[in-house]
């Protein structure tokens, strides 16, 4: 979708986006010392004149608590201070921030309600982080904890008005920085070891007990992943992306599913986190069984009375599938209905597959149940000569419900395998 004309010259970009619904949202960026505000409504983007502040300022983050109420924060480079913009009832206005120092700015913000929020940043005069608290319609500067290091803040997230985290950089010790807000006070939390030079830029929690933080490891030239669970932060080894990459943003809709974004100087980086094993995503594909020297293994036998059976040697475990069949009108498709014994055997086979996948991913499986579609097709050419084998493809679909490490998940699956068919 081409952007609207913004009058910012030939070079401009967008850095921040936030939607309150599928039909209402905002994007902010700029170029040539001009900030760009775009509003999405009624299926199209329009350029909105930014509020008057100074002749050189920038927006780094934005959040809306409703379609009619929102805030943006950034840097007023002319006045060397933080930037606060408020959107209410269709209008953006500049809000004078509380005094902090002669040189400071804001990087991120997070609101838990229209009347409760925080903004964080860096105080370049005192080499400390900046903490601004919004409550009861007023912004106040909160004295940061004394850390005896040069530090600043880049990210913040609250799970409630009384519980939150902020992350940033400890420049003195060349590592990431963690601040915890609880009981009305901010305290420093020692981060886990990552390398001799790393930092943190983003943080998000799905509950007071579960969260992630991330950024960049300067030593190993890769993204940093920190996981908070059961009261402890741990460093998670990231997957290989390239020889030099980093992470900037994070979003988790739940504790079991999330995304992280960044770059590697040539392209964007996307990381996906799922507690469900990677091979068990939106669809599970189980292709075939292990075959051994048993001559009946992998063979479907049908009988003139309309019944069938399949025997498979599954890594030394015998599987028997029985039921009834009928010939489709096209003369080339057999419709097979599995009986209760076959469904039990199929469930046992798939349960073994899921359990093995969970073990491979370091996840324990508590419960598994399957629902099979009642009729599946064996497709292949049917030989006219009695007992002449044909290669057929069996495809069975359904849904599986399983609990991995106490987390329930439902997904669809497809079982597919080629086997020999012997006509009656």
* CA 241 to centroid of chain Cα atoms: 16
Model confidence pLDDT, tens digit, residues 125-168: 999 999 999 999 999 999 999 998 999 999 999 999 999 999 99
**Are both 28 and 71 inside the same structural domain?**
yes
The CATH number for 114's domain is 2.120.10.30
**Are both 270 and 319 inside the same structural domain?**
no
- 271: tokens are 């990381």
Last residue of a domain, one of 238, 257, 274: 274
Cα dihedral 144→149→150→153 (10° resolution): -40
**Residue 136 backbone phi and psi in degrees, to 5:** 65, 30
Buried b (16+ CB within 10 A) or exposed e, 17-41: eeebeeeebbbbbbeeebbbbbbbe
Last residue of a domain, one of 231, 255, 274: 274
- The yes-or-no verdict on residue 2 having pLDDT over 80 is no
- The yes-or-no verdict on residue 24 having pLDDT over 70 is yes
Higher pLDDT, 257 or 191: 191
**Are both 32 and 154 inside the same structural domain?**
yes
Residue 267 in domain: yes
- 79: tokens are 């006045």
Task: Report pLDDT for 363.
Answer: 62
- The yes-or-no verdict on residue 319 having pLDDT over 80 is no
Residue 1 in domain: no
* Residue range 284-309: mean pLDDT, rounded: 53
**Are both 205 and 299 inside the same structural domain?**
no
- Using CB atoms within 10 A of its CB, is residue 355 exposed (0-12), middle (13-18) or buried (19+)? middle
Residue 7 in domain: no
Range of the domain at 96: 13-274
pLDDT category, 388, cuts 50, 70, 90? low
Model confidence pLDDT, tens digit, residues 194-239: 999 999 999 999 999 999 999 999 999 999 999 998 899 999 988 8
């Amino acid at each position: 979708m081409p952007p609207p004309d913004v009058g910012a010259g030939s070079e401009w970009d967008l850095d921040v986006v936030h939607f309150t619904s599928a039909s209402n949202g905002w994007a902010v960026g700029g170029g040539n010392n001009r900030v760009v505000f775009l509003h999405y409504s009624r299926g199209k983007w329009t350029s909105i004149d930014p509020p008057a502040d100074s002749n050189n300022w920038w927006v780094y983050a934005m959040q809306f608590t409703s379609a009619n109420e929102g805030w943006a924060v950034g840097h007023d480079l002319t006045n060397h201070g933080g930037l606060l913009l408020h959107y209410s009832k269709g209008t953006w206005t500049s809000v004078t921030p509380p005094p902090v120092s002669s040189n400071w700015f804001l990087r991120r913000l997070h609101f838990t309600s229209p009347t409760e929020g925080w903004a964080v940043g860096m105080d370049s005069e005192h080499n400390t982080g900046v903490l601004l608290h919004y409550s009861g319609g007023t912004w106040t500067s909160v004295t940061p904890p004394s850390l005896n290091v040069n530090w600043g803040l880049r990210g913040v997230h609250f799970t409630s008005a009384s519980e939150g985290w902020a992350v940033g950089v400890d420049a003195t010790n060349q590592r990431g920085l963690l601040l915890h807000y609880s009981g009305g006070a901010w305290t420093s939390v020692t981060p886990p070891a990552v390398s001799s030079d790393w930092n943190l830029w983003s943080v998000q929690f799905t509950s007071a007990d579960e969260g992630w933080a991330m950024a960049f490891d300067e030593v190993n030239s890769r993204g940093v992943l920190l996981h908070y669970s059961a009261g402890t932060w741990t460093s998670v080894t990231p997957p290989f992306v390239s020889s030099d990459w980093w992470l900037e943003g994070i979003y988790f809709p739940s504790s079991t599913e999330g995304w992280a974004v960044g770059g590697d100087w040539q392209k964007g980086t996307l990381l996906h986190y799922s507690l469900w094993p990677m091979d068990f995503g939106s669809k599970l594909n189980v292709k075939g069984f292990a075959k051994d020297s048993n001559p009946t293994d992998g063979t479907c036998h049908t009988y003139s009375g309309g019944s069938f059976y399949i025997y498979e040697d599954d890594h030394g475990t015998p599987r028997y599938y029985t039921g009834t069949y009928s010939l489709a009108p096209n003369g080339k498709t057999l419709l097979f209905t599995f009986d209760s014994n076959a469904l039990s055997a199929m469930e046992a086979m798939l349960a073994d597959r899921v359990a093995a996948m969970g073990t491979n991913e370091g996840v324990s499986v508590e419960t598994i149940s399957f629902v099979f579609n009642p009729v599946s097709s064996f497709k292949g050419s049917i030989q006219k000569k009695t007992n002449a084998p044909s290669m057929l493809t069996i495809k069975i679909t359904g849904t599986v419900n399983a609990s991995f490490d106490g987390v329930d998940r439902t997904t669809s699956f497809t079982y597919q395998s080629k086997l020999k068919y012997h006509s009656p």
